C-alpha cells in the first residue's frame, strides 16, 4: 500500500513538473518528465499532455505515436480519438481522420469539437446537406462558436444561398472579429453577389493570421491558404475556423 502511494505521488510530481516545463516552453524537459511519469504509472492525462508537447513542436508523427499508444490503454477514450482524428486532418490524411472521428462520435455523439472536425471533412467533399445536419447538433452545445458559424456560412455559400451565408458569417465575425478567415470568407461571398464595396471592406478588415502554438485542438484550418477569389473556397469551408 505504501509503495503504491509513493508511486502515485511520484507520478503526480513528474506530471506537474512536465506541465511547468511545457508552459515555460522547455519542451525537451517536459517530455522527459511526462515519459518518466508514464514509466511509473500510465495515465490518460499524461499521454494527452505528452502528445500535446510533441504537437507544440509540430512533431505530429511523434504525437500520433503517443496517442496511439494511449488508445491501447484506453481504447474508448473519446477525447483521444478526436485528437488523433484532428492530427491526421492537419496532416492531410482525411480518411484516417474520419475513421477516428467517427469512432469518437460512437462514444460521445454530442461532442461539438468532434462534430465540427467530422463535418469539415464531409463539407470538404461538397456534401453540404449532411455537413449542415452535423453542425445543427454542434450548434445546440456550442451556439457561440465562431468556427461553427463560419463553416455553416460556407455550407450555405456552397449551396448558393448567399443571404443565409452572409448572416452566418456576420454572426461568426461578431463572435470572433480577429479571425482573418471569417473576414476573407465574408468578402468572398459579397464579391460573388456583386457587392464589391462590402467585399472590399470585409477583406480590408482581415488581420494577420495568428501563429498557432501547434495544439491539435486549435483551429486547424489555418494551415491552408485561401483559394482564388470567385471560387467557392472548399478548402476553407472544410476546416474548422
Q: Are residues 136 and 35 in the same domain?
A: no
Per-residue model confidence as pLDDT tens digits over 162-198: 999 999 999 999 999 988 899 999 989 988 887 655 5
> In whole angstroms, how far apart are CA 40 and each of 16, 128, 172, 205?
14, 48, 45, 51
In a domain, residue 209? The reply is yes
Range of the domain at 20: 11-61
In a domain, residue 223? The reply is yes
Would you give the DSSP letter of residue 41? S
Q: How far apart are CA 2 and CA 236, in angstroms?
A: 55
Per-residue model confidence as pLDDT tens digits over 84-135: 999 999 998 999 999 999 999 999 988 889 999 999 999 988 899 999 999 9
In a domain, residue 210? The reply is yes
Q: Are residues 56 and 149 in the same domain?
A: no
CA neighbours closer than 13 Å in the CB half-sphere of residue 134: 27
Per-residue model confidence as pLDDT tens digits over 134-150: 999 999 989 999 999 99
Q: How far apart are CA 226 and CA 191, in angstroms?
A: 15
- Whether residue 120 contacts residue 89, with contact meaning beta carbons closer than 8 Å, is answered with yes
Confidence of residue 221 (pLDDT cuts 50, 70, 90): very low
In a domain, residue 71? The reply is no
Which CATH number is 159's domain given? 1.25.40.10
In a domain, residue 5? The reply is no
Q: Are residues 233 and 138 in the same domain?
A: yes
Q: Are residues 34 and 127 in the same domain?
A: no
- Whether residue 52 contacts residue 30, with contact meaning beta carbons closer than 8 Å, is answered with no
Q: Are residues 40 and 133 in the same domain?
A: no
Q: Other CB atoms closer than 10 Å to residue 101's CB: what's the count?
A: 28
Q: Are residues 147 and 226 in the same domain?
A: yes
DSSP assignment string, 128-163: HHHHHHHHHHHHHH-TT-HHHHHHHHHHHHHTT-HH
Amino acid at each position: 500500500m505504501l509503495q503504491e502511494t509513493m508511486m502515485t505521488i511520484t507520478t503526480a510530481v513528474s506530471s506537474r513538473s512536465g506541465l511547468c516545463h511545457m508552459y515555460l516552453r522547455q519542451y525537451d524537459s517536459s517530455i522527459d518528465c511526462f515519459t518518466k511519469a508514464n514509466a511509473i504509472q500510465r495515465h490518460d492525462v499524461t499521454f494527452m499532455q505528452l502528445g500535446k508537447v510533441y504537437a507544440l513542436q509540430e512533431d505530429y508523427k511523434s504525437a500520433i505515436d503517443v496517442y496511439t499508444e494511449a488508445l491501447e490503454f484506453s481504447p474508448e477514450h473519446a477525447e483521444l480519438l478526436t485528437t488523433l482524428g484532428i492530427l491526421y486532418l492537419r496532416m492531410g490524411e482525411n480518411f484516417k481522420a474520419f475513421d477516428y472521428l467517427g469512432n469518437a462520435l460512437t462514444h460521445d455523439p454530442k461532442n461539438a469539437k468532434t462534430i465540427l472536425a467530422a463535418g469539415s471533412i464531409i463539407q470538404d467533399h461538397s456534401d453540404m446537406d449532411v455537413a449542415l445536419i452535423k453542425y445543427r447538433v454542434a450548434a445546440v452545445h456550442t451556439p457561440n462558436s465562431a468556427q461553427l458559424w463560419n463553416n455553416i456560412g460556407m455550407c450555405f455559400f456552397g449551396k448558393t444561398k448567399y443571404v443565409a451565408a452572409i448572416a452566418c458569417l456576420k454572426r461568426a465575425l461578431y463572435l470572433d472579429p480577429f479571425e482573418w478567415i471569417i473576414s476573407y470568407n465574408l468578402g468572398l461571398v459579397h464579391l460573388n453577389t456583386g457587392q464589391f464595396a462590402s467585399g472590399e471592406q470585409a477583406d480590408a478588415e482581415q488581420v494577420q493570421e495568428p501563429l498557432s502554438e501547434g495544439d491539435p485542438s486549435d483551429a486547424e484550418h489555418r494551415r491552408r491558404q485561401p483559394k482564388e477569389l470567385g471560387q467557392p473556397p472548399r478548402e476553407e469551408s472544410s476546416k474548422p475556423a
